[in-house]
Amino acid sequence: MSITGSSVIPARMRLYDQRNRRLYVNAEERERFVAATQSSSLETAALCLTLLYSGCRLSEGLSTTSSSIDAYSKFICFRTLKKRHIHEIREVPIPDTLTKLLAELIELRSEELTQKNKHSDFPLFQNSGRPVNRVTGYRWIKTVFDKAGIVGAQATPKGLRHGFGVHALRSGVPLNMLRKWMGHSSIETTAIYANAVGKEEIEIAERMWSLDIHQHCS
In this prediction, residue 110 carries a pLDDT of 85
The pLDDT, as a whole number, for residue 211 is 74
> What's residue 11's pLDDT?
52
Mean pLDDT of 49-73: 96
pTM of the model: 0.85
Binned at pLDDT 50, 70 and 90, residue 8 comes out as very low
142-146, 160-164, 200-204: which range is least confident on average?
A: 200-204
b/e 56-85 (16+ beta carbons within 10 angstroms → b) = bbbebbbbbbbebbeeeeebbebbbeeeee
Of 72, 65, 66, 69, the closest CA to residue 53 belongs to 69
pLDDT at 2: 37
Of 141, 113, 114, 135, the closest CA to residue 44 belongs to 141
